[in-house]
Amino acid sequence: MREFGGAGFDQANHPKVQHIRERVEQHVGNVYGAEAAAGISSAIMREADLADAAIESHTMVDKWDESDVVTISYADTVQKEGERPLKTLQRFLKKNLRGVSSGVHILPFCPYTSDYGFSVVDYQQVKPEFGTWKDIQEIGEDFDLMADLVINHCSSKSEWFQNFLLDKDPGKDYFVLGDEYEDLSKVVRPRSSPLLTQVETASGEKEVWCTFSADQVDLNFRNPDVLLEFVKIIKSYLKKGIKIFRLDAIAFLWKESGTSCVHLDETHEIIKLLRLVIETINPEAIIITETNVPNKENLSYFGNDNEAHMIYNFSLPPLLVNTLLSGDCSHLKTWMMSMPPARRGRAYFNFIASHDGIGLRPAEGLLSQSELKGLTDTLCRFGGEISMRKMPDGQLKPYEANISLFSALAGKIGGERDAWQVERYLCAHTIMLALEGVPAFYIHSLLGTENDLQGVAESGELRAINRYHWDEAALEDALNDDEKHHARVFRALKDRIKLRKQQAAFHPNATQYTLHFGKQVFAFWRESLNRDQSIFAIHNISDAKQVIPIVELNLIATEQWRDILSGVVITEGMKSIELEPYGCAWITNK
């Protein structure tokens, strides 16, 4: 119930409203200057209805726990002829993943022109071929909804850009012009395409900044009107039930001549402002930053507990895949020991595969050049391709591996496909489920989907290799056929997810320590926040049987211990635990 009302109520002077406004002005001033702060802040307060939201808001502390698991899917991954794919997806998710996943990330569902959704034409609409907002909200009845805020750029066919070409509002000042930046020599690129694209406008030829492609034109956040447009979009999404916001390509948001134009201070300040807006409207809402960059740079997006609630754990996919293909967990252990525990209120967003591919930049400085080449050569042998990015000096370097995760784990580095693909695959996900953070499963990983080479041939897009479109009936048949790996993988992963959700020691912020049992065993210890549950998570990442002496686990003798994956109880006379190739054990005292 509101704390205000009546003719004499002075909303503007309410302490909560004043507090929020002061914080908004601080962030705005840090970006646009003190003189402009008051006017821009007033517009933000008005467009987001922040005064009303501030008065009604309550403090939200715990946004996640061990029961949180996210499934990631395109709107049209599962299809039925004659039916909107969002409706088909909703039925599949409800039937198969309700009670398993807590949240669903529906990848870009707005009308778009390229990059499979990440070139948005209209942020307020759902692509008609996919369905409607009502279809999305029906998914939200069973799962927390996560959506992309494609904030760095929009489609060249959007109303904003078409207005830019005609020198009309809204849009004529919404885009970054190359001639306004004297020195572009240090700009960090995620692609090999040209940075600037020439376009013909009503006022002559201009060069617009395109970080990703000529169809994805970068938005000019130096113009506060662009920021206000996204405040309106955020407010609209929150009203429609979106709870988790993925800030796409956020690292590239602000441009400054003579710099890398990535991770700039203004970008961090805008994230802080957006978090304030989002949490004021809905204290339960979450921001996740998508920054496919080396690990140290990625960690900066936690800020001082005032930026991202979660960050994608981008170094995990290449390191974990390399670990399982090499049979050596040394680099994975070194990385994990270097990772600072995410403080309460922050968490890592763990994933192994995505709609794009396996990012290779986050492995820079963690794998040597020869190791990286061994990894990429192996992935190519298993049907994958390597996308490149252009360095400031024009040199091309590996950016990501385009391959389905199931196909990627078909064998070992330097070898051919072997008999351990399913076991290796399940081991990878079992590790992810046990790690500090919130686990996220790309739907094709849950389903064990293989490389879609036909999709690549038809689209000409390397990323299509991991974006297969399942026919609903064919998928259900595959998941009910025990002879097919899809059924074995889906059933096993769901069982392990359900087990994870019951363990307090797997809270995303529970204590984690690395254990040392040699290069072929990746192990760590987790302890619940209230310290009453311990779990020793032990994983054989090799194709040879491993023996773990019980004495080396240092189990407390007065407690009863058991492996919750196998059900085996650790008895007093037991000397060791044997793990079959790619076998796993979660040994707990609860």
Please list the active-site residues: 248
Question: Do residues 550 and 536 make contact, with C-beta atoms less than 8 angstroms apart?
Answer: no
Locate 216 and state its tokens. Answer: 């994805």
Instruction: Assign residue 99 a region (left: φ > 0; alpha: ψ between -120 and 50; beta: otherwise).
Output: left
Question: Furthest-apart CA pair in the chain: how many Å?
Answer: 85
Paired with 522 in beta bridges are 516, 539
Question: Do residues 353 and 444 make contact, with C-beta atoms less than 8 angstroms apart?
Answer: yes
Closest CA relative to residue 498, chosen from 423, 445, 565, 435: 565
Tell me whether strands 242-248 and 144-150 are parallel, antiparallel or unpaired. Answer: parallel
**CA 553: distance to chain centroid?**
34
Q: In angstroms, rounded to a whole number, what is the distance separating the alpha carbons of residues 565 and 583?
A: 10
Q: In angstroms, rounded to a whole number, what is the distance separating the alpha carbons of residues 128 and 132?
A: 7
Sheet containing 534-540: order of strands? 511-516, 521-527, 534-540, 584-588, 561-563, 569-570
**CA 106: distance to chain centroid?**
11
Paired with 548 in beta bridges are 577
Residues 6+ apart with CB under 8 A from 370: none
Locate 167 and state its tokens. Answer: 């020198």
The DSSP annotation for 169-214 comes to TTTTT-B-BGGG-S--TT---SSSS-SEEEEEETTEEEEEE-SSBT
Q: In angstroms, rounded to a whole number, what is the distance separating the alpha carbons of residues 415 and 138?
A: 46
Q: What angle do CA 555, 556, 561 make, to 5 degrees?
A: 65
Pseudo-torsion of CA 204, 210, 215, 218, nearest 10°?
A: -90
